C-alpha cells in the first residue's frame, strides 16, 4: 500500500532526478557548445538561423548524452534524496515509530527502477530514429561536404568501402566491393567510379547500390552474390544492412541500432566480425539490472553512516560508480577480444557486484 509518506519520498526523488538531469545534461551542452563554437559560427547564415541550428543540433544529441549518463543520474538522484532526508531528520520520526529503514527507502528504490527503465526506452525507440542526425557534422548539417568512409561488412559477407561520401545524395566516390570466398564467383573485387545508395522500395533495383563506371565492365559468370549487370560499366549491388550510413560509420555502425535489429543481424547466416555485436546485444539485456544494482549499492553505502556529510556521500557514490563502470568496460573489452563468451562478458559485472550490492543492502542499520 502506498502511503502519503511514500508519495512525498517519491516526489522528492523525481525532483532530485530532474535537478541532476538538467544539471549534467546542461553542463555537457554548455561545455560542448563553447568548445566547438567556431564550427557552428562557420556555418553560413544569419545569427537567428545559426542559433536555431544550434538548438536543433543539441536536441538531437541529448538522447545520446542521456544514454551515457542515465545510470549515474539515477544514482545521484537516489543519493541526494536519501542524504537530504537524513540531513532534515525526516527518517528519525519514522524509525522511532518502528518503521524499518528498508521500508522507508522503498519509494526511492521504486523511483530508481523507473528512472533506470528510461535508458532502454531511449536506446530502443529514440536513438535509432535520430541516428542520421547524430552522424551529421556540426559545420555540415546538409551533408554537402565530402566525408571519410570507414567501410563495413554487409551480412552477406560483402565488404564495402569508398574514397569519399556525400550524405546529402547518399553517394560514394571510388566505391569498392569485395565479395567473400563463399560467393559463387569466389573472392572478387568490383570497383566503381560512383555508387549511389537506393533505399528499399517496391522495385527490384532498390535496397542496394547503383554503380556507374564499374570495373571490370563485364563480369564473368557466375555473377557475384547480389550483383546485377545492367550494361557495360553499370550494375546494381543489393545489400541487406550495408546502407550509406553503415558504410560511413564503419565497424561501430550497429551501436545506434535497436536490440531487435541486433538480434536480426546475429541470426544472419554470415557470422563474420559479429563478436562485438553479440557483446553489445547481451549488454543491452543486462543493462537495466546493472543500473538497479548500482542504485541499490549506492543507497546502501549512504545508509551505512547516517552522520556523513551529503557532499561526501555523493562523492563516495560517484567513486563507487566509477569503479563499477570500470569493471563493465573491462568485461566488455575482454568480450570484444573473444577471451570469454559475449554472454559471460555481459553478465560478469552482475555476478561480481550483485552479491556485493545485496550484502551491503542487508547491512543497512534498521
Determine which helix (DSSP H) or strand (DSSP E) holds 161, and give its type and residue range: strand 159-161
Q: For residue 162, give its domain range.
A: 156-239
All three cell numbers of 145, joined, read 561536404
Burial class, 142, CB count within 10 angstroms (exposed 0-12 / middle 13-18 / buried 19+): exposed
Residues 231, 285 within the same domain: no
Residues 88, 160 within the same domain: no
Paired with 237 in beta bridges are 209, 227
191, 223, 239 - which closes a domain: 239
Residues 225, 164 within the same domain: yes
- Domain assignment of residue 251, yes or no: no
pLDDT of 154 strictly over 90: no
Residues 114, 173 within the same domain: no
Residue 216, preceding bond cis, omega within 30 degrees? yes
- Domain assignment of residue 222, yes or no: yes
How far CA 144 is from CA of 61, 62, 141, in Å, comes to: 20, 24, 8
- Domain assignment of residue 37, yes or no: yes
Residues 28, 124 within the same domain: yes
Residues 9, 102 within the same domain: yes
Note the helical H segments in the chain.
Answer: 4-35, 37-41, 47-87, 92-96, 101-104, 106-121, 131-134, 244-249, 259-266, 275-304, 310-336, 342-362
pLDDT of 86 strictly over 50: yes
189, 219, 239 - which closes a domain: 239
Residue 67, preceding bond cis, omega within 30 degrees? no
- 3-state secondary structure string across 290-356: HHHHHHHHHHHHHHHCCCCCHHHHHHHHHHHHHHHHHHHHHHHHHHHCCCCCHHHHHHHHHHHHHHH
**What pTM does this model have?**
0.83
Better-predicted residue by pLDDT, 50 or 267: 50
pLDDT of 26 strictly over 50: yes
The 10s digit of each residue's pLDDT in 90-125 is: 888 888 899 999 999 999 999 999 999 999 999 999
- Domain assignment of residue 255, yes or no: no
- Domain assignment of residue 26, yes or no: yes
Predicted confidence band of residue 15 (pLDDT cuts 50, 70, 90): very high
**What pLDDT does 216 receive?**
81
User: What's the rounded Cα separation, in Å, for the pair 224 and 184?
Assistant: 6
Residues 161, 130 within the same domain: no
The 10s digit of each residue's pLDDT in 228-240 is: 989 888 999 999 8
- Domain assignment of residue 267, yes or no: no
pLDDT of 269 strictly over 50: no
Count of domains for the chain? 2
- Domain assignment of residue 86, yes or no: yes
Amino acid at each position: 500500500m502506498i502511503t502519503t509518506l511514500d508519495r512525498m519520498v517519491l516526489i522528492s526523488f523525481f525532483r532530485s532526478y530532474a535537478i541532476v538531469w538538467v544539471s549534467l545534461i546542461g553542463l555537457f551542452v554548455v561545455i560542448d557548445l563553447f568548445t566547438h563554437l567556431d564550427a557552428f559560427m562557420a556555418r553560413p547564415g544569419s545569427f537567428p538561423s545559426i542559433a536555431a541550428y544550434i538548438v536543433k543540433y543539441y536536441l538531437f544529441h541529448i538522447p545520446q548524452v542521456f544514454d551515457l549518463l542515465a545510470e549515474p543520474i539515477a544514482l545521484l538522484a537516489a543519493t541526494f534524496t536519501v542524504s537530504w532526508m537524513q540531513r532534515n531528520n525526516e527518517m528519525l520520526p519514522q524509525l522511532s515509530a518502528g518503521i524499518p529503514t528498508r521500508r522507508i527507502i522503498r519509494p526511492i528504490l521504486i523511483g530508481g527502477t523507473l528512472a533506470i527503465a528510461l535508458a532502454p526506452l531511449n536506446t530502443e525507440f529514440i536513438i535509432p530514429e535520430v541516428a542520421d542526425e547524430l552522424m551529421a557534422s556540426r559545420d555540415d548539417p546538409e551533408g554537402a561536404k565530402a566525408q571519410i568512409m570507414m567501410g563495413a561488412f554487409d551480412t552477406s559477407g560483402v565488404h564495402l568501402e569508398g574514397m569519399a561520401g556525400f550524405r546529402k545524395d547518399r553517394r560514394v566516390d571510388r566505391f569498392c566491393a569485395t565479395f567473400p570466398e563463399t560467393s559463387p564467383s569466389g573472392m572478387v573485387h568490383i570497383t566503381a567510379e560512383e555508387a549511389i545508395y537506393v533505399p528499399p522500395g517496391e522495385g527490384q533495383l532498390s535496397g542496394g547500390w547503383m554503380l556507374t563506371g564499374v570495373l571490370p565492365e563485364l563480369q564473368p559468370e557466375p555473377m557475384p552474390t547480389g550483383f546485377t549487370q545492367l550494361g557495360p560499366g553499370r550494375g546494381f549491388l543489393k545489400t541487406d544492412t550495408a546502407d550509406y550510413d553503415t558504410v560511413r560509420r564503419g565497424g561501430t555502425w550497429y551501436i545506434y541500432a535497436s536490440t531487435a535489429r541486433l538480434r536480426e543481424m546475429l541470426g544472419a547466416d554470415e557470422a563474420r566480425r559479429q563478436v562485438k555485436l553479440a557483446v553489445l546485444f547481451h549488454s543491452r539485456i543486462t543493462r537495466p539490472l546493472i543500473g538497479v544494482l548500482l542504485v541499490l549499492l549506492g543507497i546502501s553505502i549512504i545508509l551505512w553512516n547516517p552522520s556523513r556529510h551529503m557532499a561526501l556521500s555523493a562523492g563516495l557514490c560517484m567513486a563507487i560508480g566509477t569503479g563499477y563502470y570500470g569493471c563493465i568496460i573491462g568485461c566488455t573489452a575482454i568480450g570484444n577480444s573473444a577471451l570469454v563468451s559475449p554472454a559471460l562478458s555481459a553478465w560478469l559485472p552482475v555476478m561480481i557486484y550483485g552479491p556485493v550490492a545485496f550484502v551491503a543492502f542487508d547491512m543497512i542499520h534498521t
